[in-house]
Amino acid sequence: MTSEQSKSDISRARILDAAAKTFRQKGYAATTLIEIAKAAGMQAGSLYYHFGSKDELIEEVLDIGMRRVHEAVEESQERLPADSSYRDRIRVAVEAHLTTLLKHDDYTSANIRIFGQVPEEVRQHHIRQRDAYAELWRRILTKAQKSGALRSDVDLGLVRMLLMGALNWSVEWYQPGRTSIQTIADHMCLMLFSGIGIEEPIRSGENETVA
């Protein structure tokens, strides 16, 4: 039980990597074990030495993906100075979530993209883990609100859903090199804390022309 990696461990990891990548790209049902095996450099039948079924494989991919965001966000909080502002706490959480999602993690983005496609039974097995992650955000936002850093008249559940949506949707459009992850996080935090609106001058009904 040291950090030695048996041949089995190595193959297993290669399969998981290939699976996460393929599931993320093609979705659950459209991904075949043949494809995964090929990407992992072996034959389809060989997968069954490591995993009992396609669903067992997808479950582990989902599990790893969720664990990684969860840990990343949790660590972002622990790394902060104890006297950090609540805005900073939320800001680093947003950055951690986005970075995990977009930077190098096929597992996390696979989780987000295909969770809605997997068989009901697989989904059931992950509800607990999803809830735990939701709970982490709930705590962060609730503390911020109680402390007076967030408006007290908003439904934090709704805010959380809208925030997660904005962040998670990035897996559908983000392309490395076009915008930095930091810029995305900055825009998200600006919207969340201050909004991007400006008071409009009162107008008298005419269609004004703007230079």
Neighbouring residues of 37: CB distance < 8 A, sequence distance ≥ 6:
15, 18, 43, 44, 46, 47
Which DSSP symbol is given to 201? P
d(CA 196, CA 87): 17
Residue 69 interacting partner from DNA, its own copies, none (CB closer than 5 to 8 Å by kind): none
Q: Count CB-CB contacts under 10 A for residue 64.
A: 17
Closest among 86, 97, 210, 54 to 156, alpha carbons compared? 86
Closest among 98, 92, 73, 95 to 174, alpha carbons compared? 98
For residue 22, state whether it binds DNA (rule: CB under 7 A): no
Q: Extract the tokens encoding 142.
A: 């609730």
For residue 8, state whether it binds DNA (rule: CB under 7 A): yes
Residue 125 interacting partner from its own copies, DNA, none (CB closer than 5 to 8 Å by kind): none
In which element (H, E) is residue 101 found?
A: helix 86-102
For residue 5, state whether it binds DNA (rule: CB under 7 A): no
For residue 78, state whether it binds its own copies (rule: CB under 8 A): no
d(CA 11, CA 6): 9
Residue 198 interacting partner from its own copies, DNA, none (CB closer than 5 to 8 Å by kind): its own copies
d(CA 96, CA 179): 17
User: Which of 52, 116, 176, 177: binder of its own copies (CB under 8 A)?
Assistant: 116
Q: Extract the tokens encoding 137.
A: 């955000």
Q: Least CB distance from residue 7 to its own copies, whole Å?
A: 33
Using the minimum distance from each CB to its own copies, give the nearer residue, 8 or 183.
183
User: Which of 52, 78, 158, 176: binder of its own copies (CB under 8 A)?
Assistant: 158
Q: Least CB distance from residue 28 to DNA, whole Å?
A: 9
Residue type, 173: W
For residue 32, state whether it binds DNA (rule: CB under 7 A): yes
- Span near its own copies by CB under 8 A; candidates 4-12, 15-23, 63-71, 195-203: 195-203
Tokens 């904005």 -> residue? 166
Evaluate whether 53 touches 142 at the Cβ level (below 8 Å). Answer: no
For residue 54, state whether it binds DNA (rule: CB under 7 A): yes
Q: Which residues bind DNA (CB under 7 A)?
A: 6-8, 11, 31-34, 37, 41-46, 48-50, 52-55
Q: Which residues bind its own copies (CB under 8 A)?
A: 26-30, 82-83, 85-87, 113, 116-117, 146-151, 154-155, 158-159, 161-170, 172-173, 179, 183-184, 187-188, 190-198, 200-201, 203, 205-208, 210
